[in-house]
Structure 1
Amino acid sequence: MCELKACGGMGFKNLKQFNLALLTKQGWGLQTDQNSLINKVLKAKYFPSYDFVEAKIGCNPSYTWRSIMAVQHVVKEVSELIDSSSTSWKASVIDILFLSHEAKMIKSIPLSSSAYSLAVSLSHTIDRGASLDVGLVRRFWKKIWSLPVPHKTRHFVWRACREALPTKTNLAQRKVVLDDTCEACGLMAESTGHVLWGCVKAQEAWSCSKLMVIIDWVDEEKVARMVTIAWALWFNRNEIRLGGARKTGKDVVRWATHYLEEYWAANESELSAPVVLERSVSWIPPRTNWFKIHVDGGVFASQKAAGLGVIIRDDRG
């Protein structure tokens, strides 16, 4: 949820990392700013003979000191990556310690930027472990979030790709339901892949759509139709669970197609329709023996010409 949309997340800020980033900023100040008041107070009590990165938590520490010590390892790691004399990254060290795309990500962060950006980058390198084709992942999610479909459909696709739909398989893993069998076919467990692709009811819809499941991502319209049909299958599945009628595969495709075309038409009309501002304007005459002058002009690029109009009126118009 807290990863960037381009990396498969929803773009929410991670409050825990944000809090740690603020503490890291305080810890970095203890390490580099020897003249600050907080540095003098904490150093006198907890690390009088050495630097912050070598300090111990000590006996009966205050809540403030325990909180700052929670990010000591981060300050130590960062201090090893920064050349304090030139205030720049130690590029050679970063290239050795991290994978190429991770090193590029860290070195692209300005040292004047927020600590939160650095905390996110370091946490991603620790959490992911294995090397990923970051460029391919970013292109995939960028394509998903830019599809010409309603936002709720894009959100559905994100949930499906992240295995976050409340299918019976997921609900059974969380002890919400006991039986994870698909109610449509009664043959297999209702997973995301089954309910959207493998179930006989889903297969009926896909055969009516005449769309291949694996299609060229360059054809944006076909991708939009495919994800909308998948959303329609899920929508009808939820309708059935709430007592609604089951649509045939042909009806699902027809409804999804009509829904998507209505969305396209509505967005096209909004973009093409000129904005007309209605306002009531009435001419107010000038004072007696005064004149009022109205001036307007226009440029006609296609004709390579310009025009100017002037109206002069007295108090009688």
Structure 2
Amino acid sequence: MVDDLNDLENKSWNLNLINSSFLPLEAEIIGGIPLSNWFLEDKQIWGATSNGLFTVRSAYQIAMDLNRKELASSTSNDSGMRLFWRKLWKINVPHQISYFAWRVANDILPTKANLVHRHVLLDDTCEECGLMSESMVHFFWESNWSEEDLALAIAIVWAMWTNRNEVRHGGLRKSGDQLLFRCKQYLDDYWAVLEAPVKMQQQLESKWIPPDEPSYKINVDGAVFASKK
């Protein structure tokens, strides 16, 4: 409970408990949140009314608003979104890359903009350009691709994000040529594994076809011995 993080005697945060329970960055952010000097007892309030008290009318209004939003989104977006998700999961890439693409499509990657929105970070400035917010739109791009190009594009984005995380944890930043070579080699190996069983099946199913007339095929079985007995 949040209550446990408070030092009631000194009317401050229990920094020892916070530092032992959270990551250093999170502990610093929590410790920087100002506390009330009164330490009033927590209580539940209803946010849909000005006085914080629940009313049936306010609950009905919320239900109607949610219903209107659901109908509007379902009629305009459902068919397009279903087509999008089907296309996404059919892309011929390893599962971890498909899952990464799903996270990108749902905007749930821990970009700095998302972390600021979740009150984990205070600054969302992109570390690459130093100017813009590190949002999904800023970090990635949108284009029309063929199936092969789309697979390579998603793999490159996955490699960029993976290398970004490696750098943040002390790893080396890879060049664009290195990332591109890694992705192409990874996909080629993956596609080769997928195609191998198909090629073997085709070889097993091959049949001998006799030549057309007037050609003939004759099988001859003979042997030569060094001496006769």
Normalised by the size of structure 2, how large is the TM-score? 0.54
CA distance in 2 between counterparts of 1:262 and 1:186 reads 37
Would the alpha carbon gap of residues 125 and 145 (structure 1) be closer, same or farther in structure 2, given more than 3 Å must change?
A: farther
CA distance in 2 between counterparts of 1:188 and 1:134 reads 32
Q: Which amino acid aligns with 1:214?
A: S
Say whether residues 1:242 and 2:169 are aligned partners. yes
- Name 1:144's counterpart in structure 2: 88
Task: Give CA deviations for 1:91-150 in whole Å, capped at 9, x if unaligned.
Answer: xxxxxxxxxxxxxxxxxxxxxxxxxxxxxxxxx976623131433222111010000001
Say whether residues 1:172 and 2:113 are aligned partners. no
Give the count of matched residue pairs: 138
Give 5+ residue unaligned stretches, structure 2: 1-65, 202-206, 211-229
Would the alpha carbon gap of residues 301 and 157 (structure 1) be closer, same or farther in structure 2, given more than 3 Å must change?
A: same
Would the alpha carbon gap of residues 301 and 239 (structure 1) be closer, same or farther in structure 2, given more than 3 Å must change?
A: same
Say whether residues 1:134 and 2:93 are aligned partners. no
Say whether residues 1:215 and 2:144 are aligned partners. yes
Task: Give CA deviations for 1:245-295 in whole Å, capped at 9, x if unaligned.
Answer: 111222221211111111111222244446xxxxxxxxxxxxxxxxxxxxx
- Name 1:91's counterpart in structure 2: none
Q: Which amino acid aligns with 1:151?
A: H
Q: Which amino acid aligns with 2:195?
A: E
- Name 1:192's counterpart in structure 2: 136
Would the alpha carbon gap of residues 133 and 172 (structure 1) be closer, same or farther in structure 2, given more than 3 Å must change?
A: closer
CA distance in 2 between counterparts of 1:128 and 1:301 reads 62
Other structure's SS at 2:140 match: helix
Identity of aligned residues (%): 41
The correspondence for 2:187, drawn from 232, 243, 260, is 260
Other structure's SS at 1:188 match: coil
CA distance in 1 between counterparts of 2:209 and 2:69 reads 59
After superposition, residues 1-317 of structure 1 pair within 5 angstroms as 128-130=70-72, 131-197=75-141, 213-216=142-145, 219-273=146-200
Tell me which protein shows more strand as a share of its residues. Answer: 1
CA distance in 2 between counterparts of 1:252 and 1:223 reads 16
Note the aligned Cα RMSD (angstroms). 2.5
Q: Report if the CA contact (8 A) 1:147-1:220 is conserved.
A: yes
Normalised by the size of structure 1, how large is the TM-score? 0.40
Task: Give CA deviations for 1:165-204 in whole Å, capped at 9, x if unaligned.
Answer: 011111111121222111122121111122224xxxxxxx
